[in-house]
């Protein structure tokens, strides 16, 4: 198969492929699948508080979870990675839903890690099931791990995620460090009035354990379409608060223009903080990512309104070269950027859990 590059019409070259292996999740995070009464109460109070309140009702959602035969098999995922790598992709991240809900994930990691050209193999998980798979994942070739943890307070953690489990996530982070995953990353979505008072505590948690912590602006990707701009704590505000508390040194981004986070190292060398601000400071101009959903669809942007179904090709008689050509064509149409904050912005139908982080 001939090799080439996945270059879009804006000159960006795709190097990063994020692969969702399941649309299911065992958490019900307020910013993704806000199904709990706590989530409803929080959003209701915020809607009541804004200048022009609108009636708010968070109804239970009937999800069209994909049956097993509608999900990409591990063989199909491996094939897609091989094709993507032949076109210049060298970073692979396994996501969900919650990826560790799917059986045999270490087998998939082993398949992907063995592909020549995969330089960076990572996973994003909520950490709840990590302990039972951690050693096998490491042995199979997983290099990096990112955990979602939005609160250090068990009560607030449950409010944000819909279940108890904060202690399990903290234990998972410790285990990842013991097993030699490096860096160990923690992602925290910041929502005003909910966990923004924990910024400094989360940063100190990262420094004490020499972690890489990413604060992420609240994005409109929830199933209830309850996102409000007023709930976004801007990257600038987050950074100002962190600089007021910690001695931080900016990290030069020139070595990786596609980096999504503005990064700062603790002056004592114990870990790193980053701020990902897609709402107030979009980084679309350097985006080098593609997403492959669990049911075989390519998304060229997290906020794409169009998806490109590759399942018929993968399960038909298409050759690798034909699939590669299709991928090249899809990337040509990659959006210049998302339109959050614009009058014509439309939230995608799928939630983050179905798209993949």
- The whole-number pLDDT of residue 2 equals 46
In a domain, 283, yes or no: yes
Q: What pLDDT, in 10s, does the model give residues 149-167?
A: 999 999 999 999 999 999 9
Find how far residue 133's CA is from the centre of its chain.
20
In a domain, 121, yes or no: yes
Asked if residue 198 is part of any domain, the answer here is yes
In a domain, 4, yes or no: no
pLDDT confidence band for 317 (50 / 70 / 90): very high
CATH number of 67's domain: 3.20.20.70
Give me the pLDDT at residue 305, please: 80
Residue 7, Cβ density class (10 Å: 0-12 exposed, 13-18 middle, ≥19 buried): middle
For residue 349, is it within any domain?
Answer: yes
**Domain annotation covers residue 30:** yes
Contact between residue 253 and residue 64 where contact means Cβ atoms under 8 Å apart: no
pLDDT 10s digits, 66-88: 778 889 999 999 999 999 999 99
Number of domains in the chain: 1
pLDDT at 59: 54
Contact 284, 273 (CB under 8 A): no
Q: Is 234 part of a structural domain of the chain?
A: yes
* Cβ pair 115, 78 in contact under 8 A: yes
Which structural domain, as residue segments, surrounds residue 127? 16-355
The verdict on pTM exceeding 0.85 is yes
Q: Indicate whether 258 belongs to any domain.
A: yes
């Amino acid at each position: 198969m001939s090799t080439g590059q996945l270059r879009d019409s804006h000159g960006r070259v795709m190097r990063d492929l994020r692969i969702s292996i399941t649309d299911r999740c065992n958490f019900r995070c307020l910013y993704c699948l806000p199904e709990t009464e706590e989530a409803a109460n929080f959003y209701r109070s915020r809607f009541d508080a804004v200048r022009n309140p609108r009636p708010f009702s968070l109804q239970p959602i009937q999800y069209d979870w994909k049956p097993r035969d509608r999900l990409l098999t591990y063989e199909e995922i491996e094939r897609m990675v091989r094709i993507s790598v032949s076109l210049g992709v060298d970073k692979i991240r396994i996501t969900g839903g919650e990826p560790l809900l799917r059986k045999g994930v270490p087998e998939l990691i082993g398949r992907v890690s063995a592909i020549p050209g995969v330089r960076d193999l990572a996973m994003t998980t909520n950490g709840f099931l990590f302990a039972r798979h951690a050693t096998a994942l490491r042995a199979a070739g997983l290099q990096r791990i990112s955990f979602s943890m939005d609160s250090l307070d068990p009560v607030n953690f449950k409010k944000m995620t819909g279940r108890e489990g904060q202690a399990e996530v903290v234990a998972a982070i410790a285990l990842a460090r013991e097993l030699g995953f490096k860096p160990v990353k923690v992602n925290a979505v910041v929502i005003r009035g909910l966990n923004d008072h924990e910024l400094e505590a989360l940063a100190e948690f990262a420094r004490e354990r020499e972690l890489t912590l990413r604060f992420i602006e609240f994005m409109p990707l929830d199933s209830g379409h309850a996102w409000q701009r007023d709930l976004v704590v801007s990257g600038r505000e987050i950074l100002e608060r962190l600089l007021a508390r910690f001695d931080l040194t900016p990290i030069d981004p020139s070595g990786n223009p596609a980096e999504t986070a503005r990064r700062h190292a603790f002056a004592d060398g114990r870990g790193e903080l980053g701020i990902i601000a897609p709402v107030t400071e979009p980084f679309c101009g350097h985006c080098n990512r593609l997403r492959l959903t669990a049911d075989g669809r390519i998304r060229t942007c997290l906020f794409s309104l169009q998806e490109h179904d590759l399942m018929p090709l993968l399960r038909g008689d298409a050759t690798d070269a034909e699939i590669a050509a299709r991928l090249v064509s899809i990337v040509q149409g990659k959006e210049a950027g998302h339109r959050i904050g614009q009058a014509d912005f439309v939230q995608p139908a799928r939630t983050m859990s179905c798209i993949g982080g």
